[in-house]
Amino acid sequence: MPLALIALAIGAFGIGTTEFAPMGLLPDIAGSLHTSIPTAGQLVSGYALGVLIGAPVMTALGTRVARRPMLMLLMGLFVAGNVITALAPVYGLVLGGRLVTSLTHGAFFGIGAVVAAELVAPARRAAAISLMFSGLTLANVVGVPLGTFVGQQLGWRTTFLLIAALGLAGLAGIATLVPRLPRPAGVRLRHETRALRNPQVLLAMGMTVLGFGGVFTAVTYLAPLMTTVAGYPPGAVMWLQVLFGAGMVAGNLLGGRLADRRLMPTLLVALAALAVVLGAFTLTGHTRIGAAVTVALIGALGFTTVPPLQKRIIDTAPAAPTLASAVNIGAFNLGNAIAAALGGLVISAGFGYPAATVVGAAMAAGALLLAVVSVLLDRRSGRTEPTGSREPEPATAALRAPNPDADPSPLGPASA
């Protein structure tokens, strides 16, 4: 795998860390800014809203910029947003810094996934995407818990300054390791938006919303599920989060490898198993060991779907994958928001915390149904396995042979 993927993974690690860093520091942030904890919690929900808006907008604005300088620009904006968050004296400016940071999230992962796929042979593209996303999964194992510890010991502002330093490391890595990619012929913003009308693209995004949304029902209510149902002490929740993150890391890498062999079978099996495991929590969640194993499996199965879903988006929009890939990142956040809301409704209705995972199981089952429809459409059109069979796209081929016609300027009119 090219070293450029490590640079992308560093950027992904920083973004994954900053997304959830406030969750463990809400009391510290609220006390420092003289506001309530629910108000401080808007630093998380506001970030998610910024991702939904920023993914298509930033990607659309970058359609006239080459991919490497666009990734560098996004990392620079990421650094600036975290510095604003760390140094802002009042809550409004802290929230503003979070919104600036969130604008980079969807576009970075969307464009980065396309770049990762172009850096390797077609048969290894899902594995390359999973390597980039390993930065995001490792953030949940290492970055977020470490950020919480540093913030509690040295102040929450220190955490965001360190995250900004991670962004600088990612920026330097992208500048030095990611090659200049020639402009894919004929790609324009109107081609990118047209790709969103493809039924297979819409089905893949629906799988993302429902499938990963099912995972987030467990993540959102992990603390009360573990303490009130499984009987863990509050101090054990952090280690259960690490266990969940470890499952994510393993699932992400496994999903990348399997998807390069058989993409849709990987999705079908992972979504079916995820629905079963989420539904089974009503039985397994009443013992500590059963709950811990279930949490790890939810993380693993949930992230087994991520590389194949991103590659599915790229495969179904081969002429203009960038916007579709970025919007799919926004779909993950949309699924998170829907899952948290639906889980809250059933809990408030008196059905108990395990009912949230039943909602998650229903969402995963819905994603499985969409995957079956997608496979049937493939067979109807004569495409039984769309992965690993296409010839390298123009940008990929250009990386393997000199291209005298490529624009040498990093800020030339190359398309994202």
**Within this chain, domains 1-181 and 189-389 share the same CATH topology:** yes
Alpha carbons 36 and 30: distance in angstroms, whole number: 6
Domain ranges of the chain: 1-181, 189-389
Question: What pTM was computed for the model?
Answer: 0.72
CATH 1.20.1250.20 fits 1-181, yes or no: yes
pLDDT, tens digit, 9 for 90 and up, residues 43-74: 877 887 888 888 888 877 777 778 888 899 99
Give the pLDDT of residue 206: 92
Are the C-beta atoms of 325 and 114 separated by less than 8 Å?
Answer: yes
Q: At the fourth CATH level, which superfamily is domain 189-389?
A: MFS general substrate transporter like domains (1.20.1250.20)
Q: What burial letters (b/e) apply to 30-46, b meaning 16+ CB within 10 Å?
A: bebbeeeeeebebbeeb
Give the pLDDT of residue 301: 93
DSSP conformation letters of 317-363:
STTSHHHHHHHHHHHHHHHHHHHHHHHHHHIIIII-THHHHHHHHHH
C-alpha angle 372-378-379 in degrees, rounded to nearest 5:
95
Amino acid at 65: V
Q: What is the mean pLDDT of residues 310-319?
A: 78
* Residue 155 pLDDT > 60: yes
pLDDT, tens digit, 9 for 90 and up, residues 249-294: 899 889 888 888 888 999 999 999 999 999 999 899 889 999 999 9
Give the pLDDT of residue 271: 95
Alpha carbons 38 and 88: distance in angstroms, whole number: 19
